Structure 1
Amino acid sequence: MDWLSEQAGFVWLIVAALFAICELLIPGVYLTFLALGAAATGVLALIFPELGAIGQFISFAAWSTVAVLIGKRWYGANPVPSSDPDLNNRAARMIGQSVTVVDAISGGTGRVRVGDGEWPAEGPDLAPGEKARIVAVRGGVVVVDAIRTIAETPSA
């Protein structure tokens, strides 16, 4: 036996530690599962030195897969709370925004300016230049409602 095969268990444990350190430096969760797979393989290689290189790689792949599946299930059941849950949900972030009608909304359809782009819109009849507020997004169409000014609001 050569030196590397005699020390394979320790090499796998060092690889596990390196994965864990990289996970701490560059958070992304996936290296944690590889670190667990490498650690399990390291322990097995120390207990069963005759495991061999192919057996160790199979062990690493199997334990990493098991760790990913367990992690996926755990994160599904225990989602990480977010300070901005709509961060990657562009449609949800648009709701409540004030927009300007670009092409008249007539017969329920038209176009509005949202930020620096134009979107197809549905809503009450509005003339170009009027302000509206996004109340929903359906597919690629924003649903708007007119913004009423104090002068337009009927008095009680």
Structure 2
Amino acid sequence: MTLIELVNKFRTALENMNPLDFAGTSLSVSKFPDASCDDASLLLAAFLVDNGYPNSYVIRGSSGGNNSELQSHVWLELNGIQIDITADQFNKYGYNNDAIILESDNQFLKTFESINDGEGDFRSFVLKYNDAGLMSHFEECYQSIIEAVA
């Protein structure tokens, strides 16, 4: 499958799932894509690895938007391509972001002061926190997504 096909399948699965399917992650507290960019990106990175697209990195942005009014946002970068499946959450503030950003140079994402926060796959990223409970929550969420994608 191509990268865009995989990302589309993943995003569609998240849109159709219930927040209750995501206990223990930010996806459980609001309806996707709202307030879920961090955890959705970590889960997407694992999905990409499992489907032949390794080495995506978590990009953390701050002070973004036209007037630096957006405090934070998270997306992935894979071989110079920005992958964002939650930027449309900001459309209620007057932005016009697609449901999926998959491009090397995106004007909206460029508004953020950004840093590379390391490997995106939750199975590596969450290890930084040495929290078995958190890892368990992510693994359960990921399994739910995999079942929804199938």
Q: Which bracket does the TM-score occupy, shorter chain normalised?
A: under 0.3
Structure of greater relative contact order (alpha carbons < 8 Å, 6+ residues apart): 2
Question: Rg larger in 1 or in 2?
Answer: 1
